Every structure is written in structure tokens, then in C-alpha cells.
Structure 1
Amino acid sequence: MNVTKRMGITIFVGMLPALIIYIGIALVPVAMSLYYSFFDWNGLSSMTFVGFDNYVTALKDSIFWKGFQNNIYMMISGIVGQLPAGLFFALLLNRSLRGLKLYRSVLFLPVIISAVIVSLVWNMVYGTESGLLNSILSSSGLDSWKQNWLGSPRWGMLSVSITYLWQNYGFFMVIFLAGLQNISEEVKEAAVMDGATGWTRLWFITLPMLKETIWVTLIFSISNSFRVFDLIYVMTAGGPAHNTEVMSIYMYTNAFSNMYFGLGSAVSILILIFSLIAIYAAKLITRRND
């Protein structure tokens, strides 16, 4: 047995436990959901094969498309809000600052806090009667600006997306910070010697060298926006009148509240398909820009 083949076997054996775990917690559930999506099943009685009826039911439901619209809203707000915020703080933390470790910990703190706790805290911020935001507006003489932020069809999704941005920007900050620290110091010094200013270095050196990092954060942002559930469920449960409902809440309601496991499984497969389409579209756009 030659050395290359022996190394390949060694690498495969080393990766095998992780591969088995990945198959068990990722691929097998997807396959099971795909299987159940072709059946009418309440979890107790025998399953009845219905073909694509569950998919047709979901695609004909206006509430499902409302959830899809809200997922797109979360995706766009995440890309426009979280990625620039993460890059901004990463650029700040990539400098020699006093108390740098403290700043990193504070900025990353929202990521490690439970989504339930984050939701409860921001519910107190958005509260109608004694919420922090309305109290600040009232004390500033702006009573006309006070709103039922989470219960308003106009402001509900914006309020939720701000909370979503605050919770997750630190995750992207860490990824960008790792990318910035991998940029060679020789490149930076050469740019300074050529007379490149701060903004010039950012646009023509830093961002191009972060291209792969930006692509990774874009994938994470898109996939996270289609998987968001607990934050919105605790804050609004999808209300009022489904105005803040996303596809994952629609899936949960049908599968575990209405006991339509086949329909819920079909919706989960549709969520996967839509997220893959969004990622592929982003890939095409970034390639065209390149």
C-alpha cells in the first residue's frame, strides 16, 4: 500500500465519526421529511399516500406566501443590516485598542444569549404601555410617535428584524475579523507606501481580499433568515393576523398544532428548496460582479 493511499484511508477514518453524526442529524431528517411529505398523517393513525397534494395545499395557501414574503424581508434586512454591521465592528476591532478583549466580548455577547431571553428583553423594549422605546418617545415630547410596535402591520416586521440584526451581527463580526487578520501585513504596508488612504485601502484592497469571507457570510445570512423561528415565535407568534409569520412558524403550526405532519414536512422541504435557490441566485450575482 503506497503512502498516498494510506494517508487517504487515515483521513477517511478520522472523518468517519463526524460524517456519521452529520448523516444522522442532517441528511436522515431531511430524507424522512421528504418521505412524510407525500403522506396524509396525523402522527397517530395510519399514513395515506397523497402524492404532491401537501405541496399543492401549501403553495395555494396565502398564509404560506405571506410567510415566504416575510422570510424574504428577513433575508434582505439580514444582508443589508447584519453584514455591514459585522464588517464595521470587525474593522474597529482589528486595530490596537485598549480593552480590545472586553470590546470583543461585549459585541459578541448577543450571539450567545438564548433567543428566548433576547425576545423577552426586546418585548420589554417594544412594549406598548411601559416599553422602553415608547417611554423614551414620551419623555422626549414625541407622544405622537408612540406605536404598538410588535402589533402593528406596518412596524411589526421591522421591529422583529431589528432584534434579529442585534442578536446575530456579532457572529458575522467574528467571521470578518478572522478574515481581516489573515490579510498579509506586507500588502497593507505596500498600499500605504503607494499612498493609499483609509477608504482606498478598504475598497481596493481589504474588500477584494475578503471576497471569500463575504461569500461565506452571505451563505450564512441567507440560510439563517430561512431558519429563523424561536425569535419571532416568542416575540409575536407570527401575529397579528400572520403579519410577522415566517415559513418555519407556518410549518410548526401545521405539524404540531394542527397535527398535519405531512403538510408540515412538505413545508420544510419547500423551505430547503427556497433557501438553496436564494443561495444559488446570490452565487450567480456575485460571479457576475466578479
Structure 2
Amino acid sequence: MHVLKRTGWTVLLGMLPALVIYIGVALVPIGMSFYYSFFQWDGLSPMKFLGLDNFVSTLKDGVFWKGVQNNLFMMATGILGQLPLGLFFALLLNRSLRGIKAYRSMLFLPVVISAVIVSLIWGMVFKIESGLLNGLLGLAGLGSWKQDWLGSPRLGMLSVSITYIWQNYGFYMVIFLAALQNISVELKEAAVMDGATGWKHFWYITLPLLKETIWVTLIFAISNSFRVFDLVYVMTAGGPAHNTEVMTIYMYNSAFQNMNFGYGSAVSILILLFSLIAIYAANILTRRSA
């Protein structure tokens, strides 16, 4: 009993620095944002109490709801693009191949590249005048398909989402790869002996064993989609006419461009609320389908 108590205190002491950092970096700023959201404040003048006016004004603003729509689009494309792509490459890399470490590093590379660099690279791909994509379409005799990919109200968000998928699929690939390598070799061999090979092995053996991992990646995909900022800001800054504006850019413009930190704080609280609702909804759906 004394040994267990000492072990418990040791674990708690070891977790204390991380807990303090988490409280200071995450919980305290959330509490401050919640407090500021009830005031009108430009960062210099005395704060003026408004109650729930900032929240009401935000929810009445059509630009904010356009940002919500764009965030939901990024969430959907992230879930339907990043997770299957990450799982696909994880399955390919979960085998003994010559140079497998090099392939893993290459596929994971977009994750470690700065979002600003990723945005600039794909900005050159989608550029209307000298972009790689329009150039390839011209060489293929498909000049009529050339588009202003980032400036199009119809295709701008899709173009940004493709960049978002490319940047982050490697993160989920590593998570799935770690989960695949933890599956028992004996279980795999027993399944093969019972005739579960190829697609059947994946569907009836591998996929059920990855259920918890898929849930974790789903949470990451949802939370990341609501926090995306730098990628969109560098590529389009939310334009044209707010067609690619997400909630974080709306918050940034409200707080720092318009110097209304109370209003921006209210938007940040709503972003947190929307992300929690989306995660809760995903939890309910996955439990029902389990």
C-alpha cells in the first residue's frame, strides 16, 4: 500500500509541470477570452460591459455563418480526405520493403513543412497566370478548363481544402501505422489460415481493431479543422468576398484589424463551442454505428 501511494505521488509530481503549462497555455487564455467576450474593448480604452451583445451580434452576422460553413466544409474534406489517405499509405508502409524508411519520411514530409511554405507552394500550383495546374491543363489540350482556382467563389474553398489534406494526411498516416504495427502477428496468421486474405482481412480483422484509433484521428481531424488559420490566411486571406473565410480569420479580423478584442473573444468562445458540439455529435454517431 505504501509503495502504491509513493508511486501515485511520483506520477502526480511528474505530471505537475505539464499540468501547470497546460493550465497556463490553454485554460487560462480560454477563461480570459470568456471574460473579455462580455466587454467592448480595443486594448487601450477602459472596458465597457455589454453582456451578451457580442455573442448576439456575431450570431446575426452573415459573414460569421459563412465562416462556419467553410469550417464545416474543411472538416468534411479533412475527414473524408485525410483519414482514408492516411490509412491507405499506412497500409502500404506496414510491410517489409527495401527503403521503407525513406518512403515513410517522404510521405510524412508535408507535416513538418511550415504552413506558410505549404501555402506558397500550392499558391504557385493554383496561380491563374503561371500556375502549374493551369499549365498542365494547357499542355494537355484542356485550356478551356483553366480556372482562377483560388479566386473562384465555387472552387476557392475546394482548392484550399486540397492543400489542407496534402499538408496533414501524413500525421494520420503515422498514427495508423503505429496502430497497425501493434496488431498481433499471431492474429494475422490465424486470420490468413482461416481464409481471411486481402480485402476480407482488412474489413473483418484490421478495420475493427483500428476502431479506437479511428476515433482518435476523427477527434484530431475535427479539432484541427476548426483551428486552421495560417494556411487559409496566406493562400487567400479569406477572399474573394469572404468565400474562403473561416472562423479563425473572422476572429482575427474582428480582434486585430477592427481592434475589437471583446468581439473577437466572443468569436473564439463560439469556435470552441462549435468544435465541442461537432466532437460530441461525432461521438454519438460512432457509438451508434459501433
Normalising by structure 2, report the TM-score: 0.99
Trace 1:96-135 onto structure 2 (pairs within 5 A).
Answer: 96-135=96-135
Given the alignment of the two structures, is residue 86 of structure 1 paired with residue 72 of structure 2, yes or no? no
For 1:7 and 1:176, the matched residues in 2 are separated by 32
1:276 aligns with 276
Q: Does 1:69 align with 2:69?
A: yes
For residue 140 of structure 1, report the CA deviation from its aligned partner: 1.0
Query: Which residue number in structure 2 is paired with residue 161 of structure 1?
Result: 161
Return the letter of the residue paired with 2:27: L
How far the C-alpha of 1:166 sits from its partner, in A, is 0.2
Say yes or no: does 1:264 pair with 2:264: yes
Q: Displacement, 1:90?
A: 0.1
Distance 1:176 1:100 in 2: 16
Map Cα deviations across residues 28-61 of structure 1 (whole Å, 9 max, x no partner): 1100100100100000000011111100010000
- Alignment map for 1:1-290 (pairs within 5 Å): 2-290=2-290
* Structure 1 residue 221 displacement after superposition: 0.2
Residue 4 (structure 1) shift = 1.9
The CA distance in 2 between the partners of 1:263 and 1:125, in whole Å, is 36
Question: How far off its partner does 1:3 sit?
Answer: 2.1
Q: Which amino acid aligns with 2:256?
A: F
**SS of equivalent residue, structure 1 residue 165:** helix
Distance (Å, rounded) in 1 between the aligned partners of 2:221 and 2:205: 24
Consecutive unaligned residues of structure 1, counting only runs of 5 or more, are: none
Task: Give me the whole-angstrom Cα distance separating, in 2, the residues matched to 1:91 and 1:176.
Answer: 8
SS, match of residue 191 in structure 1: helix
Following the alignment from structure 2 to structure 1, what is the Cα–Cα distance between the partners of residues 11 and 125? 51
Shift of 1:276: 0.5
Q: Which whole-Å deviations, capped at 9, do the CAs of 1:68-121 have from their partners, x for residues lacking one?
A: 000000000000000000000000000111110000000000000000000001
d(CA) in 2 for partners of 1:249, 1:25: 21
Q: 1:186 and 1:154 mapped to 2: Cα distance?
A: 51
Cα distance in 1, alignment partners of residues 285 and 133 from structure 2: 38
What's the CA shift string for 1:5-35, capped at 9, x where partnerless?
Answer: 2221111111101100110101011001001
Deviation at 1:2, TM superposition (A): 2.0
In structure 2, C-alpha distance between the alignment counterparts of 1:205 and 1:10, rounded to whole Å: 39
Give, in angstroms, the shift of residue 248 of structure 1.
0.2
Deviation at 1:241, TM superposition (A): 0.1
Cα deviation, residue 139, structure 1: 1.0
What is the SS of the residue equivalent to 2:173? helix
Count of aligned pairs: 290
CA distance in structure 2 between the aligned counterparts of 1:224 and 1:178, rounded to whole angstroms:
20
Runs of 4+, deviation exceeding 3 Å: none
- Show CA shifts across 1:158-184 (max 9, x none): 000000000000000000000000100
Q: Which residues of structure 2 form unaligned runs of 5+?
A: none
- The SS at the match of 1:128 is coil
